[in-house]
Amino acid sequence: MTAQAWVIGGTGGIGASCVRSFEASGLRVHASNRPEEDITQPGVAEDVARRLASDGGFSVAVHTIGMSGRRLGDGPVGKCTDEAWEEVIRVDLTSAFRFLRACLQYAEDGSSIVLIGSALAKGLDEDFLTAAYRVAKAGMHPLLEAAAYEGARRGIRVNMVSPGLVDTRMAQRALNDEHIRSRFPELMPLTKRPSTADEVAHAVQWLASSKAIQTTGAVIPVDGGWLLR
């Protein structure tokens, strides 16, 4: 049977690019989208993973969901609201934990698992001060290392792609802001523009392939040089 990839968030910009590139490479793809398969809800990731395991199994899994909490009041530590903190940690970090737990139980030996992080987990920038988002994305790093350590004995690799700004729905506030646009050459000096979702998906596809067979526990920047400032 054709190998199967599981993509969490096939409706998102990066998620849809991952679905397209996996399908083009000949993988069968199962995309989990809300509301039918909302893996931010307890138990859903395990239910879906168990079902996929009994339906031919899965050897690639990518977590691409995430939210910006700005609408709920995410911002500098001194101003971030309780609501933004709780919702962003739930959607961006807790769902990644549940996803990895399900993968470590149900993915095939030799699988590749990929998370999408963010340059904002590390760099601090006046125009991008979002305490909840930063902590949610930074929290994925030790989680990723622990999952990579646990998965290694079964040949399961766990890695992360860490973008800067990507031209998707999530980044529209920043991309439409004239001041931020004028800073592209400074923020992303390699290309002086945001990444496309496909550019992020290319790195995911490499990590998902056997070409990355010696790579696990890694955070791969796809950020146009964001963190080099």
Ligand X SMILES: NC(=O)c1ccc[n+]([C@@H]2O[C@H](COP(=O)([O-])OP(=O)(O)OC[C@H]3O[C@@H](n4cnc5c(N)ncnc54)[C@H](OP(=O)(O)O)[C@@H]3O)[C@@H](O)[C@H]2O)c1
Show which residues are catalytic: 133
Minimum Å gap between C-beta 58 and ligand X is 18
CB 224 within 8 A of CB 163: no
Minimum Å gap between C-beta 119 and ligand X is 7
Among 38, 108, 125, 198, binds ligand X (CB under 6 A): 38
Q: How far separated are the first and last CA of the chain, in Å rounded?
A: 47
- H/E element holding 115? strand 112-116
- H/E element holding 44? helix 44-54
Minimum Å gap between C-beta 157 and ligand X is 19
Per the DSSP assignment, residues forming a β-bridge with 116 are 161
CB nearer to ligand X: pick between 154 and 192: 192
Q: How far apart are CA 225 and CA 119, in angstroms?
A: 10
Interface pattern 48-77 for ligand X (x via CB under 6 A): ----------------xxxx----------
Q: Which stretch binds ligand X (CB under 6 A): 7-15, 77-85, 142-150, 204-212?
A: 7-15
CB 137 within 8 A of CB 121: yes
CB nearer to ligand X: pick between 56 and 101: 101
CB 34 within 8 A of CB 15: no
Interface pattern 166-185 for ligand X (x via CB under 6 A): x-xxxx--------------
β-pairing verdict for 157-163 and 219-222: parallel
Among 40, 130, 159, 216, binds ligand X (CB under 6 A): 40
Minimum Å gap between C-beta 94 and ligand X is 11
The structure tokens 């439409």 sit at: 176
CB 6 within 8 A of CB 62: yes
CB 84 within 8 A of CB 69: yes
Among 5, 9, 85, 180, binds ligand X (CB under 6 A): 9
Interface pattern 127-166 for ligand X (x via CB under 6 A): ------------------------------------x-xx
Kindly list the residues in this chain that would bind ligand X in the complex (CB under 6 A).
9, 11-15, 34, 38, 40, 64-67, 91, 116, 118, 163, 165-166, 168-171
